[in-house]
Structure 1
Amino acid sequence: MATVSARIRLTRDLPTWLVYLQLGTFATFLYGLSAALPLLRDDLHVSNAVAGLHGTAMAAGNVLTGLLLPVLTRRFGRRALVWAGLAGMSASVVLIVLVPAAAATILGYGLGGGLGSMALYSAMAALSEHHGPAGPAAISEANGVAVVLGIGVSLLLSVAAQSGLGWRPALLVTPVLTAVLAAALGRVWVPERDRSAGGPHATAGRPGWRFHLAGAVLFCVVALEFCFNLWAAALFAANTGLSAAQAATGLTAFTVGLAVGRFAGGNLALRLPPARLLVGAMLLTGAGWLVFWLGAQPVIGYAGLVIAGLGAALQFPLALAGMITASGEHPDRASAAAPIWAGVAMAVGPLLLGALADGFGTSTAFLLVPVLIGLAVCGVLSSRTRS
């Protein structure tokens, strides 16, 4: 196994770079709107509950995309769905920027989340099929590019918010990148299999239990990442005594870990079996969580979040690759089911942790993280043992 894995090569051709940049454009949407939510809440003068509906709308958009994606893929193909998704996502950003009303912004988050998800999962299915055994490495590396662009937009939005222009124009990076990418590389695409030859568009039987188990693993890792994104700053403040504004820098430490881990993970995925690497990544996140959870000093908290981010970096790419592998010759089945699992996780994970925090305190509630890690590890090992 090790000898075979060592011979796998990742060829970064022009279609590969196109997908990398398309996923990076999606990341500017996701990271930009996530960073803008507190600013949007202040501008609209709405409650935290109403502001939270924006995230709920994005999760609902993910689920709806998963339900419609099989039909849309058979009818139009991945290439059309990716470009239509990016265009619709960009239009949603323009709606959010131009219409300062809660109903319009919630609609924009929901439509953008659904259409962006359509582009995201269609592009990653194409990327995985294009690279075959190197698919997990390509997906990890693509997510690394996405995180870097996402961080850049978050920083740009922070700077713009303190300038005379305000934060809203910074969100227009997404439609600008979409337009530039379409103009420069619009004729490039990943070669697709002939639909009549059996491939990803062919009719298949019902998916097996390993496919559903891979979906449950994806649910756990997405819920885990969103728990860190939305609640790590609150625990950081509670543990160290930092102000809420100072503790928010902890999310940057976690995101730095994500970026470094996804680029490094591309090489690791070429050398190690994906299941073994995924289990190792989850154990690394568990170690980082423990350091962070116990740390009473800011430097220890930062270190724990970086370590947790390094592990979390590989979890979504490898879990998604696991779903694609479990789908056999039907990667579009995975690209349709994945946003459903991910959308439900985005809604349920942070909500459950918040409810636990209200009842037992943030520190106790954060024990949800090792529970999710344990469930995901059991899912991966169970699938491997019975294969």
Structure 2
Amino acid sequence: MAHIKDENQSKQQQKEHETLNKNKLKKVVYTLKPALMLENWFGLSDFLLVNEDELVLLMQTEKFGVILSIFFIVMFAVFVDFPDTETESIMELMDEVPSMVVLSQYFIASITTSSCLSAIAIRIFETFADLDSMLLITTTQDFYNKSRYQTNKYLIILGVSHIISSTLDLLTDDEIVWCKFFVLPIYFLQKLEVLTFCKLIVMIQCRLQIINKYLTNFIEEQEKNKALVFTLAESNPKKTDKFNWIGCPSPNNMKIRDLATMYDVIGTICSLINDLFNIQIFMTLVSTFTYIVIAIWSTLYFYRAPNFTFGTLTTIIIWCITIILSVVVMSFVCERLVSVRNNTKILVNKVIMNYDLPKTMRVQAKAFMELIESWPLKIMVYDMFSVDISLMLKFISVATTYLIVIIQLSHFV
């Protein structure tokens, strides 16, 4: 009777686990849904969740994104002031060059999204869902609620900062510049794409930290077993969340191999995200650098003009800070992911160096280490440079060099 009862209980638990896993894709999309909805308004998020476990492409959204990008470009060209023979008009047109770059980025994004990138985005979400099942995350709804809350918080910060900078930009103009009404939403979209990229990287980081937690609990358990210590039991023992997912050392224990498989999936997701955001990151860096250089040039030029006001200078400074922050945040988030990956490497090395473990488990750890070496989890922009702290330092170095050159040239203008 006890055997039948245990079997029925096991079947019931398995049924509950299958029910939780059934909506795993829906839970992953749930964490990013607010950002995806905003992208959909610009025609860049062109897939739909159906039957709670399948993502399908929407051809109508693909066409809408291209048409909308062309509309913004045409309206910007209609309302922008073209230069005449005067130098001041040429300088005013130079101020619009960053806007032209951002509009070009939107147009390219709408075309690439409709052609091939949507399939990559769908594969990313599906792979995340499979990884969560392997990590047993799908059984914990609180994990996704916290991730959704984090997304909402980032969106609110982004929206408030963009509204403040846009309002100051419009208020400091002597007259209404209609072309700005068609380019300011695209600046918001550019920052939204950076936010989505950073959120996906953070999602990878959170799952890698779970793997590190499993490894840490196993290592601490082995170190605790080495030291034989007698203690008096507490009347009210404290509850801990140190769940030893790997289990007891045994020649038949293959959990480290399973963790290596999960890391391989994380590496695949990181590679897919890299492919998805290659063009976006590159164009963001180009537009940011263009804006900084032209902002410095125009500030030095108009500083000597009689109608120069410190309100205009304040607006330029605020815009420069908000635009540079996009590069800073990307660099910091990617650097943080590499740091967590290095922690994984240290933990796996501790398992390898523990000669009290069975040989099979240490062999699995060595294979895991080789997998870590093959997946550095670095975001490379067209294999030219990596997105990390070094990118930020290079960006500052180049911008400083151009600042010196512009200051020298400004004396001749």
The TM-score, its normalising length taken from structure 2, stands at: 0.26
Higher relative contact order (CA 8 A, sep 6+): 1
The TM-score, its normalising length taken from structure 1, stands at: 0.28
